[in-house]
Amino acid sequence: MAAKVRYYNFNGEQQDNIKLSGPLFESEFDEVSIYYAVKGYLAHARQNNASIKDRSEVKGSGRKPWRQKGTGRARAGSRRSPIWVGGGVVFGPKRKEYNFKVNKKQKRKALYSAVSKRVSEDRLIVIDKGEFDNPSTKLFAFTLKSIGLFKKDVLLLYAGDDKNFYKSCRNISNLDILEANKVNAYEVLKKDWLIVTKDALPALSGVFG
């Protein structure tokens, strides 16, 4: 049985509901797939740039600075010692690999679960984005106000071929805009609402296809 989702025109006026069928909109929520997909996404997003040099990596001679006894000074074996200025760092951060591999099948299942959850909660809305000859944040803000989602936590998925539409949406607070073919379970669940432009539905259905 197809899922029914709300559909609005560009002016924010509700039209007849749209029927969406298939596993993307009618799947059971799978916590395991969601867990692994989100973990993999966050691991891949880590910068992983922190790195220091220990005493084996800093510049400096390995020669003993002075003889062991008889100088009145403390014993020293190398100018690269961590207790010397310019020496190596002890127990500092080193670059690590945080990548967590998640197979395509599990990513797909997680996305299906996330989108289907928004459908079951009546938090997925389809809109007709209209035509934007020039960027206008005011116009799209009016659409969101008419729907009742202005300043709500919203993920907006669009087809990705309309720069004026993207520029009209990107400055609205609490609204994330993303090309439909780049969406993942983490991005869907991070926001409370999911809005999809009608022309982006085929691209959304083809993710991980």
Q: What residue ranges do the domains of the chain occupy?
A: 3-47+98-205, 49-95
Distance CA 193, CA 173 (A): 14
Q: What is the mean pLDDT of residues 113-125?
A: 96
Give the whole-angstrom CA distance, residue 169 versus residue 163. Answer: 10
Average pLDDT over residues 90-104: 88
**The CATH classification of domain 3-47+98-205, taken from the options 3.30.70.141, 3.40.1370.10, 3.40.50.12280, 3.10.180.10:** 3.40.1370.10
Could you give the C-alpha distances from 60 to 67, 77, 89, 135, 198, in angstroms and in order?
A: 18, 12, 14, 58, 64
Confidence band (pLDDT; 50, 70, 90) for 137?
very high
Mean pLDDT of 151-170: 92
pLDDT at 81: 92
Contact 82, 88 (CB under 8 A): yes
pLDDT of residue 196: 96
Find which of 41-50, 105-114, 198-207 is predicted with most confidence, using mean pLDDT.
105-114
pLDDT of residue 209 exceeding 70, the answer is no
**Class of residue 65 by CB neighbours under 10 A (exposed 0-12, middle 13-18, buried 19+):** middle
**Average pLDDT of span 114-140:** 93
> What is the arithmetic mean of pLDDT over 86-111?
91
Query: 3-class secondary structure for 95-140?
Result: CCCCCCCCCHHHHHHHHHHHHHHHHHCCCEEEECCCCCCCCCHHHH
pLDDT over 80 (residue 154): yes
Residue 24: CB atoms within 10 Å:
23
pLDDT (mean) for 175-183? 95
Residue 208's pLDDT is what?
A: 75
> Which range is least confidently modeled, 85-99, 106-120, 188-202?
85-99
